Structure formats: C-alpha cells, structure tokens
Structure 1
Amino acid sequence: MIQHKTRKRRGIEMSEDKLSDLPNCILIHILSFLNTKDAVQTCILSKRWKCIWKYIPTLTLHYSKFSTLKSFDQFVSRVLSLRDNSILPHTFGFDRNGSINSSLLKKVANYVLSHNAKLLQLGIDVKGDIRDILPCISSCQTLTSLKLSVSPKGRYNYGRTLFPKSLNLTALTCLHLGNFAFCAGDDGRIEPFSAFNRLNSLIIDNCTVKDAQILCISSEKLVSLTMRNHSFDVYQIELSAPSLCAFSFMGIPYQKFHGSSLSSVELVNIDAEMLANYSEPPLVLLSWLSDLPNIKSLTVSASTLQVLSFVPDILKDKLLSASLMRSLKSLKVKLKPLSYGLSLALKIVNLEKELKARFEPSSLIPDGILDLLLRNSPSADVDIVECSRIDDSFDHLAPFSSSLFFQFLQPSSNERVEDFLERQIQHLKGVNLQIQKYTDLVTNEVIIWEREDLITLKEYQIMFLKISDVIERLVRELEAL
C-alpha cells in the first residue's frame, strides 16, 4: 500500500501525492486494468495525469458504461483520434448494443488494422456488416484470443451472420464466436475451426449450421468447449478432440454429440432450459450424460434436473441407471430460480400427474433425479448451493435476452420464415388451450393451487395470446408482399 505523508501549509493539513510520483510505466500499467472510460477520466486529477491514458496498451470500449449510445459513439471516436499513435495495443475490446453506423465501425476497424502489429487479444461485439471489420481481423496474425459476435443489422433481425471461411489465425488459442451460421463446403462437411491448429478453448454462442446436419470440431489441442443455444436447430456435432476435458452448456439442448473424444471429458457444467411451447422434452440431454462415460466433476442447475425429470420413465429404466456416472467424484447442484418458460412447462407437463395423484412440485430438485445421478457413485461429494438466476460460471457469455418473443423468433436455418411462424402459432394455441384447461380445473377446485400461481398462469395466457396476435400479423404482412 502506498503511504501518504502529511504536512501542514499555512495551517492546512496537506496530503503528499505519492501515487503521482510513480514512473509513467507503473501508472500506465495500473490504468491498463481499467476500462477505457475510467482510465480517461483520470486526466482530471492533475496535470501529471492529463495524458497518461493515451499510452495505455489496452482499449476496452463498452457501451454499458454510457447513458446513451450517442455519447458512447462520440467517446469512441475521440479516444481513437487522441491516443498516441506510436502505442501499439496488445488488447482491444469493442462492444456496442444496437445497429452501429457503418462509418464508426469502419473507423474502429481501420484503427485495429493500423495498430495490430502486437495485438494479442481482440474482442468485437456489434450489430453490423462483418465486411466492415473482416480485413482487420484477418490481418491480426499475432492474435492468441479472439471474441467475435456480429449480428445482422436491423431492429427485428434475429438472424445470424455467415462465418467467414477466410480466417487463418495460426497463433489463436482461444476463440469465442457469437451469432454465426456455419456453411457446408463442397463436400457437405462443416469444419470451420480446422485452420486454428493451436486452439485450446472454444466458445460457440447462439450459432447454428446451414445446408448440413453435421458440425465438425476437430482440434488436437482443444481442452475446453462451451456452448450456448436458444434456437430450435437440431444437428449433430462430430468431435475429434482427444485432449478435450471440459464441457459447458447453457440453454436448450438439441444437438447430439458423436465421436471418441467424449471419453476424455471429465469436467461437465450444464444449465439446461426448456420452453413452455416445446411439446416434448429435449431427450438429448439424457444422451449427453450417457455418452460422457468418464465424468468426474458434474455441475448442474436446478433447471437441468427438472428437464431430466420430463423424460418418460427415467427412474424406472434399469439399463440407463446402470450406465450413468460410474466415475463421478463430485456433484454440484446450483439452486437457481427457474425461468418463466420452464416454470410454465412444469405446470403443463405435470398437469396429468396432478390430476391423478395430487402431485405438486415442492422443490427445485425433482424427486429421484439426484439419486439417479449418484446411483453408481454413492461416495461422490455432493454440494447443493443457492445462487441467483445469473450463473457466475457463465460470466464469459454476454447477457442473453430473456424476452420470450425473442426466443420464439429463432427459426431453424433450413426452414422458411412463413412455415416457422405458422408452427409457432400452432404451438402457442396449443399451450393456450392447456392453460385454459388447467385454470378451469383450479377454478372448479378439481385441483388445489395457490392463488398467486393461478394469477401468474393467467398472465402467461395473456402474454401468449399477445405474442400469437403479433406473429399472425407478421404472417399476414409476409403473405401480402
């Protein structure tokens, strides 16, 4: 800790500023741990600090630090203009919400392009045209870490950007991709990561495949794979990663895994989800646990256990229970509050059980599921912890919209928009009928339920009807084109 000596001048006690007496290199190093806005604000401390921020080798430009996007855009433009051009950054991060002006995006890209000789870490998260930034990314041959999330422009555009095939970053070890669609080559295979020979950490966030059903992930050095998925796409992931030992997943599990690399995975973290409009539970979640035979450390959320409980006769399948979790050493359960979609799905799926057996879920952990996971590893350590809805183990993933309307507008990449919208309308109408049947039974006291829960369910019904009306209007507009 830096000590401050005090001295009196004309009767006033003064504090001696030892921090400002430090060499520039140390002050620059200290400021490099701050986001760029906070670093720039130090210029008002004294004349000594006025220009220090211009020499910081890290640039972290994040819109969340600003009250308006306009003020953020102005700040970015001024910072890039006023920095010392002789300083080559080793870390550059740019994150902006909403559709970005092409001229600003090009200015950011041109800055990276002209200052990338020593760039090691690059992060760009925008809603814009990837062609504006692709040249600067392709030229960064020193990059070891790349976080790239590029969504198509448009207020209601929830599509994905085609992943560029021209990236050949040989030094890359960490790759985080968001909102991309991977396209098959001439042979029908999708293998977008084959050029990254040193890759050891891969994050695939809200990405999908196009014109094929198999995504190939091949890497001799890949150690960690993280996925987040909230779409309705179903495809197979073919893994060829003999060093893979950690797998994390958040979202709705649709993808099936295939490959001998599954046997090397020892650390697994799953936060599974399920939407109320999904007529069948995602059975693939159970196949993951069966196909990963050597799991030693398993972390699951309460919602993951609830999704597993939807599998028909899961507790009666002796063949299944004999194959699960034979190497488990530790099991951690995170008691996160369930999402609205999963809570409603529970009420709908368990309707028949409640009618027949007065069944009412009383715990975030469904009966029997925890015992099933521990059946073949009774000596495993079990840790059950309370936590918030925001899981800190997925902090590296940007916040995902909880809007139900946004989640409904996630069509399959191989499906016509009109067909997708019609399918969603039918889902919503089916859910609405189930809710109405359920509320009638509660109202007539055929089943007993808390008044607050009934009010919540009716609110869901109103919300679903509104969403259905919006989608039907979109269909009419499409038909009129």
Structure 2
Amino acid sequence: MMNTNWCDSEKTDGTDRISSLPDDVLTHILSFLSTREAVQTCILSKRWINTWAFVPDLKFDIMEFNLPKFLYTREEMIEKFELLVKSVLEKRETSAVNKFQLRLDYEIHWPCTQAVANCIGDVMKLGPRECFVEMCSCQNLNLNTDLIFTCASLIDLWLYLSTEVYRFVAIEPNLVNLPCLKTLELYGVSMSDDSFKKLLLGCPVLEELVLQNCEMDTIEICSNTLKKLELYSLHDIMLHISAPNLLYLNIGLVGMREIMSLNTPSLVDASIVIIGWYDQDKYITMGPKLMHSLSNVESLQLELCFPNRKVQKKDFSSYPVFNNLKRLKLVCWCFYVFDLPPYFLHHSPKLEELTFTNIHAWVA
C-alpha cells in the first residue's frame, strides 16, 4: 500500500512545499502553462507575485480565454487579448525568452490588431530561440519583419500569416541574418524571387524548410545544409532544387510550369503530388530529369492528377533505374500511368511493396 505519511503531514502542518522550491524549479513548472495562466498564479501568495515574470516561455492564445460569448463580442475579446499581451510585456522581466507563441485562431478568423502585431518585434529583442506566430486578416498591418528576420538567436521559426485563399501577406525583408535558424515554415506569404533568395542566403545552417499556400513565381533552392523540404499548395510556379544533402522531399503543387531537381543524390524518402493544368495538348508530367533526381530513394509516393484526358503511351527509355527503392505508392487520375507499375517493377530490383490506385479507372 502506498505510504501517505508525507501527504498527511503536509495537510496537518500547513506547509506550502511548492512555494519553498527554488526559483528555477518554479519557473520551469510555470513554463508548462499558458502566459495567461502563469500570470494568474500571482494571487496565490507573496512568493508568487512576480514569479511568472521570469518564465522563459511566452504563450498567447486567444482561444484560452474561454469568455462567455453571450457577454462579450468578438471585438471585446480582441481588446482583452490585446490588453493581456501589452501588460505582460510591460511588466515582464527583460530576461531572455526561450519560446514565443502568438496564436489567433485561424478557423474563427480573429483579426489581428497593430498593437498585437507590434509585440512580435518587442519579443524578438529578447532573443527567443523558438517563434510560432499564427494569425489572419493581417494584410494591412506592419509586422516588423526586419526584426524577425534579424533575430540571431532564432533556431525555429513558424509564420502562419494568412489563411484566406488567394490572399497573401507580402514579406520583403531588407536584411536577413538568421545564423542559428534550422527550421523555417511559412504559410500564406508572398515573396519576390530576390527576397526569397535573400532569405535562404541569410539562413546558413537551415535544415528544414516548409512553404505552404505561398505566392511566388520561382522557387530556387540551393543549399548544402537542407535535409527536409516540404512544398504544399503552390500555384503556377517554376521550381529548381539543388540540395545535395536533402533526405526528405514532400511536394504538392498545382498548375506547375516547370520542375527540376538537378542535385538531390541523398534523398531517402520522397512524396510528389502534382495536379497538372493542360494547355492545348501540353502537359506537365513526371519528366526524366525529375525521375533521375528521385532515383536513389528508398520510399516513394507519386500522386498524379491530369483528369479527363487520355495521354499517349510514355517512352521510359530515358528514365533511370531505382536501385534502392523498397516502398512505392502510386495514386493517379489519368490513363498513362498504367505504364508506370510495369516500369517500376522492371527497374527497381529491391522493391518490396507496391501500392497502385487509379482513380480515373474507377470513375471513367
């Protein structure tokens, strides 16, 4: 049976054992709470009045307010959230921040205010290692991206800036200096070709890059450090990749004009989803250049969508042998891919698992 003497003695003598813990232990405990919850601990006792101000993590999430909707309008909720963010940053100690999270729930489309947006730059001055920002309806706000993209302490950066279809937040930093950044994820942003090149040059140790629902004309990626690359919901782009140490590649493109992977010899796992537009009788297909760049993978998933058109039988004579391929999954919305399974079976000597689904054949 469990010994309850310790618990019983605590109840009888009234000792507050938690408050007697060292400061660094208390701040570590509070780091598991949201910033709003951590601030609320100041009412517990004198010992807790300023403890929250030393917590290395800042977590602001509007959905944690849980205020009765019949008592507060959306505007009042935003006002209270803005007040919380401003007051915390004013009263908080100037010690370094480890993690910073700012989240206005995108499913309900809480609009961001300029006062809330300003806090991002204020936190960057405290040297955070991780930054996660998720907000919508911020197209007309000054996000102080220069402070974000020159925060030399950042290791992980996630920016979800617009969740509305075909609406993007322009990101054009004057200077990029992120010498420690290893993970970068951008959602709902618009960048010029020059700005994107500047961004990659300013991230010399970047290992993971995710771009989703972004507006760009050409994505040219040249990196010796990149290990994982994910591209989703990008429309009508030209894509060039040169990443000799890339291990994982995940691409989901719509209306792609050109795709070229000229130097990805270390790829282990790849997933390619292409929804192709056709112009007269011209298709964007899985050309030999792309297939050669995938030829060393062990696991491959291809999902091709060229609906309602019958494509002539393909000539695979210029396609490579997949010497390391063990797992292959094909999901297709077109006729010509009936040629692909036999091709892979004859050109993948180590193939152990093959899954083939032809949606067009089901609905034709």
TM-score, normalization by structure 1: 0.56
Shift of 1:167: 1.6
Q: Secondary structure at the match of 1:76?
A: helix
Q: Out of 208, 221, 228, which is 1:201 matched to?
A: 208
2:59, 2:100 within 8 Å by CA — same for their partners in 1? yes
Instruction: For 2:318 and 2:22, locate their aligned partners in 1 and report how far apart those are by CA, in whole Å.
Output: 64
Alignment correspondent of 1:262: 264
1:319 alignment partner AA? F
2:249, 2:267 within 8 Å by CA — same for their partners in 1? yes
Alignment correspondent of 1:176: 185
Alignment correspondent of 1:101: 113
| Aligned 1:399-478 pairs, distance under 5 A | none
| Aligned 1:271-282 pairs, distance under 5 A | 272=273, 274=275
Instruction: For 1:81 and 1:17, locate their aligned partners in 2 and report how far apart those are by CA, in whole Å.
Output: 30
Does 2:322 match 1:328?
no
Instruction: For 1:181 and 1:230, locate their aligned partners in 2 and report how far apart those are by CA, in whole Å.
Output: 11
Instruction: For 1:44 and 1:23, locate their aligned partners in 2 and report how far apart those are by CA, in whole Å.
Output: 19
Instruction: For 2:34 and 2:246, locate their aligned partners in 1 and report how far apart those are by CA, in whole Å.
Output: 33
Instruction: For 1:125 and 1:250, locate their aligned partners in 2 and report how far apart those are by CA, in whole Å.
Output: 22
Change (3 A) 1:308 1:32: farther
Shift of 1:32: 2.2
Report which stretch shifted further, 37-46 or 62-71.
Answer: 37-46
1:95, 1:125 within 8 Å by CA — same for their partners in 2? yes
Instruction: For 2:165 and 2:228, locate their aligned partners in 1 and report how far apart those are by CA, in whole Å.
Output: 33
Q: Out of 123, 126, 130, which is 1:115 matched to?
A: 126
1:202, 1:222 within 8 Å by CA — same for their partners in 2? yes
Change (3 A) 1:251 1:317: closer
TM-score, normalization by structure 2: 0.71
1:93, 1:122 within 8 Å by CA — same for their partners in 2? yes
Change (3 A) 1:244 1:130: farther
Instruction: For 2:59 and 2:19, locate their aligned partners in 1 and report how far apart those are by CA, in whole Å.
Output: 23
1:125, 1:149 within 8 Å by CA — same for their partners in 2? yes
1:23-42 per-residue CA deviation (whole Å, 9 max, x = no partner) reads: 33123223324443454455
Q: Secondary structure at the match of 2:271?
A: strand
Does 2:94 match 1:86?
yes
2:176, 2:198 within 8 Å by CA — same for their partners in 1? no
Alignment correspondent of 1:234: 237
Alignment correspondent of 1:148: 159
Instruction: For 1:282 and 1:49, locate their aligned partners in 2 and report how far apart those are by CA, in whole Å.
Output: 69
Instruction: For 2:285 and 2:83, locate their aligned partners in 1 and report how far apart those are by CA, in whole Å.
Output: 46
Change (3 A) 1:25 1:368: farther
Shift of 1:161: 0.8
Change (3 A) 1:285 1:279: closer
Instruction: For 1:15 and 1:374, locate their aligned partners in 2 and report how far apart those are by CA, in whole Å.
Output: 74
Query: Which structure 1 residue ranges, 5 or more long, are not aligned?
Result: 336-341, 351-365, 385-448, 450-481
Instruction: For 1:191 and 1:105, locate their aligned partners in 2 and report how far apart those are by CA, in whole Å.
Output: 23
1:305, 1:369 within 8 Å by CA — same for their partners in 2? no
Q: Secondary structure at the match of 2:249?
A: strand
1:43, 1:51 within 8 Å by CA — same for their partners in 2? yes
Instruction: For 2:43 and 2:328, locate their aligned partners in 1 and report how far apart those are by CA, in whole Å.
Output: 51
Shift of 1:308: 7.3
1:191, 1:218 within 8 Å by CA — same for their partners in 2? no
Shift of 1:203: 1.5
2:82 alignment partner AA? D
1:150, 1:180 within 8 Å by CA — same for their partners in 2? yes
Instruction: For 2:222 and 2:202, locate their aligned partners in 1 and report how far apart those are by CA, in whole Å.
Output: 10
Q: Secondary structure at the match of 1:78?
A: helix
Instruction: For 1:216 and 1:374, locate their aligned partners in 2 and report how far apart those are by CA, in whole Å.
Output: 33
Alignment correspondent of 1:307: 305
Does 2:261 match 1:286?
no
Higher helix share: 1
2:261, 2:293 within 8 Å by CA — same for their partners in 1? no
Shift of 1:266: 2.0
Give me the identity figure in percent: 22
Query: Which structure 2 residue ranges, 5 or more long, are not aligned?
Result: 67-73, 356-362
1:207, 1:229 within 8 Å by CA — same for their partners in 2? yes
Change (3 A) 1:189 1:161: closer
Shift of 1:247: 0.9
1:413-471 per-residue CA deviation (whole Å, 9 max, x = no partner) reads: xxxxxxxxxxxxxxxxxxxxxxxxxxxxxxxxxxxx9xxxxxxxxxxxxxxxxxxxxxx
Instruction: For 1:15 and 1:285, locate their aligned partners in 2 and report how far apart those are by CA, in whole Å.
Output: 74
Instruction: For 1:114 and 1:189, locate their aligned partners in 2 and report how far apart those are by CA, in whole Å.
Output: 24
Report the aligned-residue RMSD: 4.4
Change (3 A) 1:318 1:26: same
2:114, 2:141 within 8 Å by CA — same for their partners in 1? no
1:246, 1:268 within 8 Å by CA — same for their partners in 2? yes
2:57 alignment partner AA? T
2:155, 2:181 within 8 Å by CA — same for their partners in 1? yes
Alignment correspondent of 1:398: none
Shift of 1:246: 1.4
Count of aligned positions: 335
Instruction: For 1:282 and 1:103, locate their aligned partners in 2 and report how far apart those are by CA, in whole Å.
Output: 50
Instruction: For 1:321 and 1:263, locate their aligned partners in 2 and report how far apart those are by CA, in whole Å.
Output: 18
